[in-house]
């Protein structure tokens, strides 16, 4: 039982959780994204109304969270590809830290651009 706790407290386990959770949340966002794109098909007034709605602070925060999820999923996937195709080394934790750093940098860059 004690070893089970240690495995779940390992940075690689948390990277696994972040990668899977970000993938699921992005998949759940996709229908909303298609709905938003469909507003353009309903006419200019409908799209303009939707775009005005997106200026709310909560929506801007959600956009930032979306960018963070995209960055987390991208960097987690690149980390997995590196582990899959490159020789195994002790730099596994470095890949985790690099993935987290790039994710936070992308989120911060998007936040500062708002």
- CATH code for position 103: 1.20.1300.10
- For 86, the token pair is 């490159």
Containing domain of residue 63, as a range?
A: 2-113
The mean pLDDT value of the chain amounts to 85
pTM for this model (two decimals) = 0.70
Contacts within 8 Å (CB) and 24+ apart, 107-113: 107/64, 107/67, 107/68, 107/71, 110/63, 110/64, 110/67, 110/68, 111/64
Contact present, 100 and 16 (Cβ < 8 Å): no
In tens, the pLDDT along 37-91 reads: 888 888 888 888 988 998 999 999 999 999 999 999 998 898 888 878 877 667 7
As for how many domains the chain has, the answer is 1
CA dist 47 to 8, 29, 52, 110, Å? Answer: 46, 19, 9, 23
């Amino acid at each position: 039982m004690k070893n089970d706790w240690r495995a779940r407290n390992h940075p690689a386990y948390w990277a696994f959780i972040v990668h899977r959770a970000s993938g699921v949340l992005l998949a759940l966002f996709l229908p909303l994204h298609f709905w938003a794109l469909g507003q353009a098909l309903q006419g200019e007034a409908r799209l303009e109304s939707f775009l005005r709605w997106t200026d709310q602070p909560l929506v801007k925060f959600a956009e930032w969270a979306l960018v963070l999820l995209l960055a987390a999923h991208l960097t987690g996937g690149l980390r997995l590809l590196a582990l899959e195709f490159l020789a195994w080394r002790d730099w596994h934790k470095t890949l985790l830290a690099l993935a987290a750093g790039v994710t936070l940098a992308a989120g911060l860059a998007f936040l500062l651009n708002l």
